[in-house]
Amino acid sequence: SAKEVILTRHTGADAGILTLTLNRPKAKNALSRNLVKDFRAALEEIRFDNDARVVVLRSSVAGVFCAGADLKERAGMTPQEVSQFLHSMKMAFRELESLPQPTIAAIDGAALGGGFEMSLCCDLRVAGPRALLGLPETSLAIIPGAGGTLRLTKLIGPSQTKALVFTARRLGPFPAMAMGIVNDMVEHPECMDEGKPADQEAAYERALEWAREILPNGPVAVRMAKRAIDHASTVDPSTGLDVEQLCYAQVIPTEDRLEGLRAFKEKRKPIYKGC
Ligand code: HXC
């Protein structure tokens, strides 16, 4: 069967950018066993790819980022199969979150339940004009169960998280931006007037702009910064400072660090190799 997650390596000036595309149009990218399997395989490829510097996660489906857990597939599962599936979904999210490279979610449509939780595992989020983010679980008489209660609380605090979860409300790009859930948004373009197809490319193009801004910076430095910042919110301050010191120590012996100093002296742009 066709791959439900497509990994694309960009070339030329964009070499180092990888795009991961959720591609299950018939079910609005709902997270099925098969999609999660493809997703995890792609993440494993990215994790050990030394040439991968920035990852953009997007959807190929108009008007949808990801509709969350596949509610139909789930209806036919035994309780044990449900547990196994939820475990592999949560593992996938941990694997996404712990990628060494920076990750950017381009959201231009519904990102609901597990779909929203997936985007919370990315470092940055960009909303397109059709973005619709929400945790509808309480309306299904369940609660967010793939990290949503923790990751959203870390991002925007407990009270804002409760407001979203208790109401099951869906947020468009403006409120998502105002609440600090997304880092950037693309405004409603003229071409989105009634009856016109969804503009799936706008958020992706903006996400690529962010990727291109990250791309020229020291690859080891960017990875180490991610690691240090991720520890900052999970450990006590003294351990956090220790971790920062250890991450800093990783960049000291790199050739790139010397290149950075040389380029500064010679008033030119540095060219980093990632070592
Ligand atoms: C299975 C789904 C699905 C889902 C949509 N589809 N969402 N199938 N699981 N989560 C299917 C529909 O049944 C339909 O199939 C087809 O995709 C098209 O969907 P439509 O609703 O017709 O499309 P549209 O009107 O464009 O609306 C898109 C949508 C809406 C906004 C995404 O489908 C929607 O609200 N879906 C449910 C989203 C949701 O509640 N997610 C939370 C899941 S709970 P047919 O066969 O009719 O064409 C969750 C918890 C995870 O994620 C926690 C784990 C511990």
Task: Indicate whether 271 belongs to any domain.
Answer: no
- 55 has a pLDDT exceeding 60: yes
Burial of 125 (0-12, 13-18, 19+ CB in 10 A): buried
For residues 122 and 13, state if they share a domain.
Answer: yes
| Mean pLDDT for the stretch of residues 140-150 | 95
- What are the angstrom distances between the C-alpha of 236 and each of 23, 137, 138, 245, 263? 40, 32, 32, 14, 37
Q: Give Cα 54 to chain centroid, integer Å.
A: 11
Give the end-to-end CA distance of the chain in Å, rounded to a whole number: 39
- Could you tell me the residue range of the domain that residue 242 belongs to? 219-265
For residues 49 and 172, state if they share a domain.
Answer: yes
Model pLDDT, residue 87: 96
For residues 138 and 51, state if they share a domain.
Answer: yes
123 Cβ below 6 A of ligand 1: no
Task: Indicate whether 274 belongs to any domain.
Answer: no
Task: Indicate whether 150 belongs to any domain.
Answer: yes
For residues 190 and 234, state if they share a domain.
Answer: no
Residue 250: closest CA among 274, 215, 231? 274
CA-nearest residue for atom 17, ligand 1, is 27
Please give the tally of structural domains in the chain.
2
Which DSSP string do the residues of 225-254 spell out, in sequence order?
A: HHHHHHHHTTS-HHHHHHHHHHHHHHHTT-
Please state the ipTM of this predicted complex: 0.96
| Ligand 1 closest atom vs CA 144 | 53
Residue where one domain finishes, among candidates 198, 214, 230: 214
220 Cβ below 6 A of ligand 1: no
3-state class (DSSP) for residue 141: coil
64 Cβ below 6 A of ligand 1: yes
For residues 100 and 50, state if they share a domain.
Answer: yes
Task: Indicate whether 44 belongs to any domain.
Answer: yes
Locus of tokens 């990801």: 66
Tell me whether strands 170-171 and 132-134 are parallel, antiparallel or unpaired. Answer: antiparallel
For residue 266, how many other CB atoms are within 10 A of its CB? 9
Which residue among 4, 28, 91 has the greatest number of ligand 1 atoms within 8 angstroms of its CB, and so is best to mutate? 28
CATH number at residue 135: 3.90.226.10
For residues 19 and 135, state if they share a domain.
Answer: yes
Task: Indicate whether 275 belongs to any domain.
Answer: no
CATH number at residue 235: 1.10.12.10
Task: Indicate whether 89 belongs to any domain.
Answer: yes
Residue where one domain finishes, among candidates 171, 198, 214: 214
CA of 51 to the centre of ligand 1 (A): 36
For residues 149 and 206, state if they share a domain.
Answer: yes
CA of 235 to the centre of ligand 1 (A): 37
For residues 44 and 165, state if they share a domain.
Answer: yes
Q: Which two tokens stand for residue 153?
A: 């609380």
Q: How far apart, in whole angstroms, are the C-alpha atoms of residue 19 and residue 103?
A: 10
Task: Indicate whether 272 belongs to any domain.
Answer: no
CA angle 38, 64, 58 (to 5 degrees): 50
- What are the angstrom distances between the C-alpha of 106 and each of 2, 85, 112, 174, 249? 22, 25, 14, 15, 33
For residues 40 and 158, state if they share a domain.
Answer: yes
For residue 224, how many other CB atoms are within 10 A of its CB? 21
Residues with catalytic annotation? 69, 114, 117, 137
Please state at what angle helix 219-232 crosses helix 237-251, rounded to 10 degrees: 170
CA-nearest residue for atom 51, ligand 1, is 114
For residues 125 and 232, state if they share a domain.
Answer: no
For residues 240 and 201, state if they share a domain.
Answer: no
Per residue in 33-42, pLDDT tens?
Answer: 999 999 999 9
Q: Which two tokens stand for residue 198?
A: 């969804």
Task: Indicate whether 273 belongs to any domain.
Answer: no
Model pLDDT, residue 233: 85
CA of 59 to the centre of ligand 1 (A): 15
Per residue in 178-191, pLDDT tens?
Answer: 999 999 999 876 55
82 Cβ below 6 A of ligand 1: no
Per residue in 41-50, pLDDT tens?
Answer: 999 999 999 9
- pLDDT-wise least confident of 51-55, 128-132, 191-195, 261-265: 191-195
No. of H helices and E strands in the chain?
Answer: 11, 10
For residues 90 and 129, state if they share a domain.
Answer: yes
Model pLDDT, residue 2: 81
Q: What single letter denotes the amino acid at residue 60? A: S
87 Cβ below 6 A of ligand 1: no
